[in-house]
């Protein structure tokens, strides 16, 4: 039976794969280049495969190296999780919370959640990574965040998703807009209207585009922005019709500075929740964070999910 893989060799391999340079990897690990080189050679001898190609000063992964890197990163994440778990047992309230969230969630949901969380874990180090859905999923895959407050991923094979609430995307217009005055959206006017939409690379944009494609309406006249707040401001001054969820514009809708209208005969809904890598056991602090997210969204009056996906 072959001996267990050496964690120091795995760390050297992961650093070298990430940096592509023996010099830089050695500096990251506070080792000499010779020590890193010996660690890699010993690892290749151990696994019986060439993991790296050395081209001048550059280092490239072989096909075997690419496959082995996926296992290495998983092993190192598990080791880090094990260490963090032990630290949590010995130091109540210590540890870290790494969360990814959209800018919308950062503004409307996280403040309440983090205020409550801090009361229970005053010494916990909190890090928030803002970004769109696709960015958050990549951050989780790379082990850079542990939880993400996001829209339900299209395919959940590698993620566990805890549903929080469901919302509906609708047209948002200024009160003097012809649609607001008529109290309806004439289907034949949608293509000619300037639509103010969220980020073209976002999941929300893809949902909107798919919805109108099924309705046989082309999305050709639109402005894309990376901020829901910016969308609301453009709509207020009459630039066009925005598409967003009413809870994001609740103060404006209640004051009458914006008006909400349906997109069409069918509703376009989104499922929000907290995602993490499948098979990953949550620490107590992370479980607490998920529970606080559920409480916060309920207190905001957001619709509970139809089913526990």
Rounded to an integer, what distance in angstroms lies between the CA atom of residue 93 and that of residue 68? 36
Rounded to an integer, what distance in angstroms lies between the CA atom of residue 163 and that of residue 307? 8
Do residues 102 and 60 share a domain? no
Model pLDDT, residue 238: 93
Model pLDDT, residue 266: 92
**Residues counted in the chain:** 309
Model pLDDT, residue 91: 55
Largest CA distance in the chain: 78
Rounded to an integer, what distance in angstroms lies between the CA atom of residue 81 and that of residue 280? 9
Model pLDDT, residue 3: 66
Model pLDDT, residue 307: 38
CA distances from 33 to 16, 17, 26, 57, 244 (A): 11, 14, 5, 12, 53
Do residues 160 and 277 share a domain? yes
Signed CA dihedral, 236, 242, 247, 248: sign only: negative
Residue 281 in 3-state DSSP? coil
Rounded to an integer, what distance in angstroms lies between the CA atom of residue 106 and that of residue 128? 9
Model pLDDT, residue 306: 42
Do residues 254 and 282 share a domain? no
Weakly modelled stretches of the chain, pLDDT under 70:
1-3, 85-94, 155-156, 303-309
The number of domains in the chain is 3
Is residue 36 one of the residues assigned to a domain? Answer: yes
Do residues 138 and 180 share a domain? no
Range of the domain at 50: 7-78
Rounded to an integer, what distance in angstroms lies between the CA atom of residue 39 and that of residue 6? 9
């Amino acid at each position: 039976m072959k001996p267990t893989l050496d964690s120091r060799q795995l760390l050297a391999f992961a650093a070298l794969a990430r940096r592509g340079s023996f010099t830089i990897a050695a500096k990251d690990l506070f080792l000499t280049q010779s020590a890193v080189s010996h660690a890699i050679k010993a690892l290749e001898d151990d696994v019986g495969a060439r993991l790296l190609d050395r081209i001048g000063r550059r280092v490239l992964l072989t096909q075997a190296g690419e496959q082995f890197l996926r296992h290495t990163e998983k092993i190192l994440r598990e080791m880090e999780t094990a260490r963090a778990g032990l630290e949590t047992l010995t130091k109540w309230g210590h540890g870290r919370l790494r969360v990814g969230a959209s800018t919308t969630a950062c503004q409307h949901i996280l403040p309440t959640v983090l205020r409550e969380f801090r009361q229970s874990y005053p010494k916990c180090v909190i890090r928030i990574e803002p970004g769109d859905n696709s960015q958050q999923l990549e951050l989780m895959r790379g082990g850079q965040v542990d939880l993400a407050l996001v829209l339900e991923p299209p395919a959940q094979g590698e993620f566990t998703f805890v549903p929080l609430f469901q919302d509906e995307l609708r047209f948002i217009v200024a009160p003097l807009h012809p649609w607001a005055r008529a109290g309806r959206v004439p289907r034949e006017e949608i293509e000619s209207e300037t639509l103010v939409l969220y980020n073209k690379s976002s999941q929300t944009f893809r949902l909107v585009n798919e919805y109108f494609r099924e309705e046989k309406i082309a999305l050709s006249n639109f402005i894309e922005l990376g901020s829901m707040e910016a969308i609301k401001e453009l709509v207020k001054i009459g630039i066009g019709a925005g598409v967003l969820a009413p809870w994001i514009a609740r103060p404006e809708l209640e004051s009458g500075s914006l008006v909400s209208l349906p997109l069409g005969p069918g509703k376009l809904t989104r499922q929000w929740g907290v995602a993490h890598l499948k098979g990953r056991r949550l620490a107590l602090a992370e479980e607490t964070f998920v529970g606080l997210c559920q409480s916060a969204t309920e207190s905001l009056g957001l619709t509970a999910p139809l089913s526990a996906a």
